[in-house]
Amino acid sequence: MFEGLVAKLLNQYLGEFIENVKTKDLSAAVWSGEVSLLNLKVKTSALDFLNMPIRVIDGFIGRIFLKADWSSLGSKPVTVVIENIFVIARPRENVSAEAKAALETAIHAKIRKLSAWQKFKLASPAMPEGASASWTEKLATKIVNNLQISIKNVHIRYEDPSVTSKATTASCLGVCLGELKLFTTNKDWEYEFLTDIEAKTLYKRLDMKNLAVYLNTNSEQLNQSTDLDYYFHDNKSFRHIIPPISGFMRLTMETDDSPDLKKPKLHLLLGLDSLGLTLSERQ
C-alpha cells in the first residue's frame, strides 16, 4: 500500500520528467520511513518546458531517496536526496512535426493533472472543523518549512553532430554540478529545525559545489554505456569555459501578512568563489 502511494505521487509530480515508476522499482522500508527509487529513465520530453528545438535522446536518474520519520514529523525534517542525474540532448530533426506533437502531449498532460486533482479532491474526506484542521495545517507548514533537499552529481550535455565531420563525434556543451543543498537555518545561518510555525522570519540557505560549464568542439558522443566516472567527475577532456565554482545563497523571508514598507518581504544574498571565463579560438 505504501509503495503504491509513493509511486502514484511520484508519477503525478515527476511524470513530466521520468518514466512511470513501477511498484517493483521501489525499495521502501516502511518502518523507517525510507523510500529509494533507483535507475529511473528520463523521458525524451523532459526538456520540452524550455520551448527550444532540442530533445532528450538519453538520460537517467541514479537515485531518488526520501526519508521521513512519520512519528516525528513535528520535530525531524523530511529529507529528499536526488543523485546522479545525467541527460543527453540533441537538436530536433523535424521541428514542426515534433513541436505539434509536443503541444498535444502538453495539453493531454494538463488535462490528466486536472482530472487527477479533481478526483483527489472528491475522494478526500472532509476535515473536521476546529482543532483537527488547524493541527493538520500547522504540521504541513512545519514540514514544508523544514524540508531538506540535496541534489548530487548532475551532468546535462547538449550534443550537435551536424557540425563535425565524423558520425561518432559532436560539438558538445555541458553543465556539471557537484552538489546543491537547501535547508532551513537560524538567523546566524546555521542549520536549525524550525519549531515555531508562526515565526515572522524564515531563513533558508542554499550551498552549491562545483558548478562548471564546458564546450568541446569535437568530442565523442556519450551514452549510458560510458563509465559513470566520466559522467560525474572532472574529466580532463572537458574544455571548460567556466571552471568549477562554488558558492551560496542566503534567503530571508518575512512571513507576516501585515504590510511593512520598511522591511522587504524577501532579501537575497549571493556569494560565489572567483568566477573565471576562458575561451579558445576553436570554441
Calculate the average pLDDT of the chain.
78
Name the residue among 217, 216, 210 with its Cα closest to residue 232: 210
Judged against a pLDDT cut of 90, whether residue 164 lies above it is answered with: no
In the DSSP assignment, the letter for residue 279 is: -
Beta pairing class for 148-160 and 79-91:
parallel
Q: State how far the Cα of 267 lies from the Cα of 182, in Å rounded to an integer.
A: 16
Per-residue model confidence (pLDDT) at position 154? 94
Give me the mean pLDDT over the 148-172 stretch. 85
Q: State how far the Cα of 77 lies from the Cα of 218, in Å rounded to an integer.
A: 46
Q: For the chain, what's the residue count?
A: 283
What is the longest distance spanned by two Cα atoms in the chain? Answer: 71
Give me the mean pLDDT over the 110-136 stretch. 56
The pLDDT tens digits of the residues spanning 232-255 come to: 665 677 888 999 999 999 999 988
- Amino acid in the structure at residue 148: Q
Q: Is the pLDDT higher at 247 or at 140?
A: 247
- Amino acid in the structure at residue 107: I
Per-residue model confidence (pLDDT) at position 68? 81
Per-residue model confidence (pLDDT) at position 98? 56
The pLDDT tens digits of the residues spanning 22-72 come to: 655 555 555 567 888 888 899 988 888 888 888 999 899 999 898 888 778
Per-residue model confidence (pLDDT) at position 131? 46
Per-residue model confidence (pLDDT) at position 224? 58
The set of cell numbers assigned to 87 is: 541527460
Q: What is the 3-state secondary structure (H, E, C) of 7-37?
A: HHHHHHHHCCCECCCCHHHEEEEHHHCEEEE
Judged against a pLDDT cut of 70, whether residue 137 lies above it is answered with: yes
The set of cell numbers assigned to 37 is: 527509487
Judged against a pLDDT cut of 80, whether residue 227 lies above it is answered with: no
Phi, psi (degrees; rounded to nearest 5) at 105: -65, -40
Contact (Cβ atoms closer than 8 angstroms) between residue 223 and residue 182: no
Question: Based on C-alpha coordinates, what's the Rg of the chain?
Answer: 22
Contact (Cβ atoms closer than 8 angstroms) between residue 172 and residue 101: no
Q: State how far the Cα of 37 lies from the Cα of 24, in Å rounded to an integer.
A: 10
Strand partners, 65: 36, 81
Percentage of the chain beyond pLDDT 90 is 30
